[in-house]
């Protein structure tokens, strides 16, 4: 946020919310009747949330176009972080 860079969140489990059917491979994540993110249901479930300067519509486009790239980047980052321990 300080640098003005848009961000998203990707997690292996949900902190809040419940899944609602949306479209094949993608479910909406809702909390208190408000949409708060998405769940990808291909391969492993991943929970996606909009961060700084990203709307739900933008997030859906990011998942559609770059979802696999984001997940691969997360795997590499996790592996590099564990190598530093």
CA distance linking residue 80 with residue 65, whole number of Å: 25
pTM of the model: 0.85
Task: Tell me the domain boundaries of the chain.
Answer: 8-83
CA distances from 2 to 5, 7, 52, 53 (A): 8, 12, 10, 12
pLDDT in tens, the chain (85 residues): 899 999 999 999 888 888 878 888 899 999 998 999 999 987 788 999 999 999 999 999 999 999 999 999 999 999 999 998 6
């Amino acid at each position: 946020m300080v640098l003005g860079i848009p961000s998203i969140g990707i997690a292996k489990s949900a902190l809040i919310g419940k899944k609602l059917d949306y479209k094949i491979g993608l479910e909406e994540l809702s909390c208190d009747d408000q949409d708060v993110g998405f769940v990808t249901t291909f391969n492993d479930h991943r929970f996606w949330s909009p961060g700084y300067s990203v709307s739900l519509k933008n997030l859906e486009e990011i998942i559609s176009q770059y979802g696999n790239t984001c997940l691969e980047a997360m795997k590499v980052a996790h592996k590099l972080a564990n190598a530093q321990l």
